[in-house]
Amino acid sequence: MKTLIISLKIFLFFTVLTGILYPLLVTGITQLSFPAKANGSLIMKDNKTIGSELIGQQFDSTIYFSSRPSAISYNPLPSGGSNYGLTNPKLKALVAECKKQFIDFNGLDSLTVIPSEMVFASASGLDPHISLNAALLQVERIIKSRQFNEDKKQRLLQAIALLTEAPQFSILGEQRINVLLLNLKLNELE
């Protein structure tokens, strides 16, 4: 009985320490140090939350840059990929369909090399970034859809360059662009 009481006291102590005190301490530090990031990197416009820098959104209109495909339709609650293996014929068919859609939607030549993130969904299904190459492949469609003149085209290319993020720690990944931030900047060019 004595061992059981000691075990319960230790259990209660560590439950309070690791389940209540530590999370409160870490939350307090992050709220003071990085409040925007601690609250989800939310993007506000006209006092309304329109998205997060961390979660991808679907853009189907020809006047916006397209996000990468999502196996979960950009719903953050069941976050995850399709889990199709490389030998699964469903994955091959899905990739072929995504490639065809990207080429047709952007009016590209069928021999154009499509960046992998535009044909494969991310592991979370919520990746908010595309590569610089994927963005540049969409520029002509957007210019045509928005009827941009040469000046606005140059401003769009400058916005792409400005919003391009370097690989993390200069070595991880490749140059990337947040699609939501790019589309918001695109709206400012009108």
Q: What is the pLDDT along the chain (190 residues), one digit of tens a residue?
A: 889 999 999 999 999 999 999 999 999 999 999 888 888 788 888 888 888 888 888 888 999 999 998 888 877 777 777 778 888 899 899 999 999 999 999 999 999 999 999 998 887 878 899 999 999 999 999 999 999 999 999 999 999 999 999 998 989 888 999 999 999 999 988 7
CA 136/CA 160 separation, integer angstroms? 8
- Which 8-state DSSP code applies to residue 118? G
Per-domain residue ranges for the chain? 2-36, 40-188
Phi, psi of 122 (to 5 degrees): -75, 165
Neighbours of 115 (CB within 10 A): 18
**Would you give the distance in Å from CA 190 to the centre of its chain?**
24
CA 187/CA 142 separation, integer angstroms? 11
Give residue 74's pLDDT.
Answer: 78
Give residue 103's pLDDT.
Answer: 95
Give residue 80's pLDDT.
Answer: 73
CA 185/CA 179 separation, integer angstroms? 10
Residues contacting residue 81 through CB under 8 Å, at least 6 positions apart: 71, 121, 122, 123, 124, 125
CA 27/CA 154 separation, integer angstroms? 43
Give residue 77's pLDDT.
Answer: 76
3-class DSSP assignment, residue 155: helix
Q: Could you report how far apart the first and last alpha carbons of the chain are, in Å?
A: 75
62-117 pLDDT, tens digit each:
999 999 988 888 777 777 777 788 888 998 999 999 999 999 999 999 999 999 99
Contact 61, 81 (CB under 8 A): no
CA 143/CA 156 separation, integer angstroms? 9
Phi, psi of 8 (to 5 degrees): -65, -40
Q: How many residues does the chain have?
A: 190
In single-letter form, the type of residue at position 162 comes to L
pTM of the model: 0.80
- Strand duo 48-52 + 176-178: pairing: unpaired
